[in-house]
Amino acid sequence: METDSSNAEKARDSLKTLLNTLQEQGIDAEELEMTKNYAKSLILRNNETKEERTRSLAIFQTMGLGYGYLKTILAEMDKINLEQINNFIRACLDPENRLFLTIGPTTK
């Protein structure tokens, strides 16, 4: 988050509030579907060219998913349900796991 150093504390507090709300409340079914659709469209757009598809296939192969994973990733995304994603959000956004990093001067 880019902000003037004089606003850093206010920005950090606002971000904490947003993260706390998301961690406590999670998302609803509509937000999950919108997010899935957005993520799928990014995958499709990012793999339009042969060069990008080749890069993705190599990454999947290197990660142990196999080069065929590109054909199944969209179906795998459809399998994610609301309970799973909200459990993931709660775990990832747990205040005990957070780290805030300030780059640049802390005062003007």
The whole-model pTM stands at 0.75
pLDDT at residue 10, rounded to an integer = 87
pLDDT at residue 14, rounded to an integer = 92
**pLDDT over 90, % of the chain:** 72
pLDDT at residue 99, rounded to an integer = 87
User: From CA 5, how far away is CA 10, in angstroms rounded?
Assistant: 10
pLDDT at residue 2, rounded to an integer = 63
The amino acid occupying position 74 is L
Digit-coded pLDDT (tens) for 21-64: 999 999 999 999 999 999 999 999 999 999 999 999 999 999 99
